Homo-oligomer: A and B are copies of this chain.
Amino acid sequence: MKLWGGRFSYASSKSMRAFCDSIGFDRRLQLVDVRASMAYAHALQRCGCISVAERDALLGGLERIRQELKDGQFAFNEDDEDIHTAVERRLTELIGPVAGKLHTGRSRNDQVATDLRLYLMEQIPCLDEALSALQLAVVDTARQHLDVLMPGYTHLQPAQPLLFSHWLMSFFWRFQRDRERLADARKRTAVMPLGSGAIAGHPFGLERRQLARELGFDAPAQNSVDAVSDRDFVVEVLAWATLVQVHLSGLAEDLIIWSSREFGFVTLDERLTTGSSLMPQKRNPDVLELIRAKTGRLGGDLLAMLTVLKGLPSGYSKDLQEDKEALFDALDTLAAELPLATEVVRTLRVNGVRMAAALDAGMLSTDLADYLVRKGVPFRESHRIVGTAVRLAEKRGVQLSDLDLAQYQRIDDRFEQDLQEVFDFQASVDRRSALGGTARSAVEAQISQALQLLRAEGGSG
């Protein structure tokens, strides 16, 4: 069944149908399509377009379709070009010509935009929950390892000692921003196009505010031309998803490098690694590699949508049909990935001994400079002095802490007996106690703050 055949003398070609039809990927809108239609039937009756009896006939038929869909009993026809057509076709089979009243004042343009938003509004709380589950895994794992020291890296070169938990908590905040962005994107998703018709608005005085409320939207769209073609919410969710992916790729990269034999800081749970078809000894972090790689996929989805929208004339164009596969791909990817990332974090074996062994006195150079600062030396000067010590130690092939006081004093006479106190990794960490620092006290405060955020939020839905 086609919804638009009246004026046409020919059937469209089969290859064109295959190219244009969306039934292959828009079936997942089936339940929201029925839900939107039920609410619309109520609204049509309220504005006098249909009678109570007609409304009830429509509702009865739609309810039956809903059941069929839920039970997997709904039979799709070869001619159903999209989910809206399929539902209307079935409704006609079930309740006869009165089914034809449901499309009064409605176009697929406003219908599909409404469906897609409703679908997304259902997905957003799930995604938010998956993100918060990952955050909780981060917090739990961080709490369990508060006594583990590790090298902090910049440029992948040893920089300063860190608490392992401090490193891990850095991801909590990335995901927290992701959740805030998701909540923001939701605001612009929860705007209802229904009642905009094809482009010009609704000709039967539909009360759109009530309809919006009933469907769970925050408000109806304010301009019908905009409403039928606005896909900002798709772009916004894709940009959000890509940024989540960027964060996940960072976590994956850290863990891939740290689970290399050379670093050996963490061991992935065996269940989350795979072997090699050729090399019997291999244990590969495939999951993490795929997580890293999916960033390309989601960035591609984002770019695809932006390119589609570039230079598109106002009013609905078929180009917009490309919104769905990109969006679904991104949602599905994250839905599969977030629980795996959570599992990775939860089952991570942290090799504190290897981490401790990787600390070296060079990482305390800044502390050494700070030692001089405390004695009144301007930092820039102390930085230079310590640079000289570093060079000396390197030349001698020893650690900074292996130079003796005399050697230090030959470099600068403000080095004193208390110098040795600098070479204490735990003390170095604990000095960074300002808000956001790696000191245990600061990390504990971070964790408290994080738990409070996790508790406070009922999700962004």
Contact = CB atoms under 8 A, between A and B. Distances in A.
Interface string A283-323: 11111011011111101111111111111111111111110
A218 B239 CA distance: 24
Interface residues of A, number: 199
A128 interface: no
A160 B198 contact: yes
A432 B203 contact: yes
Contacts of A428: 200, 203
A161 to B, nearest CB: 7
A94 interface: no
Interface stretch (A71-79, A129-137, A224-232): A224-232
Given A6-B388, A107-B277, A390-B281, A319 B97 contact: no
A250 interface: yes
Contacts of A253: 311-313
B174 A230 contact: yes
A272 B449 CA distance: 42
B103 A437 contact: no
A227 B170 CA distance: 8
10 contacts: A8-B275, A15-B343, A100-B381, A101-B380, A155-B315, A155-B317, A222-B446, A225-B438, A250-B314, A289-B317
A307 B315 contact: no
Interface stretch (A28-36, A62-70, A119-127, A358-366): A358-366
Interface in A167-218: 167, 169-174, 177, 180-181, 184, 187-188, 195-209
Contacts of A313: 153, 156, 250, 253-254, 257
A238 to B, nearest CB: 9
Contacts of A18: 336
Contacts of A257: 156, 257, 313
- The 10 A-B residue pairs whose C-beta atoms are closest, nearest first, are A6-B387, A201-B437, A4-B275, A100-B380, A100-B378, A300-B304, A296-B307, A201-B432, A300-B300, A293-B319
A433 interface: yes
A242 interface: yes
A97 B377 CA distance: 9
Nearest to A108: B277
A184 to B, nearest CB: 4
A224 B304 contact: no
Nearest to A434: B202
Given A200-B152, A223-B173, A243-B232, A278 B383 contact: yes
A152 B315 CA distance: 8
A308 B298 CA distance: 11
B261 A434 contact: no
Contacts of A199: 152-154, 159-160, 162
Contacts of A348: none
A369 interface: yes
A53 interface: no
A373 interface: yes
Contact of A435 (B209, B252, B274, B449): B209
A281 B400 contact: yes
A282 interface: yes
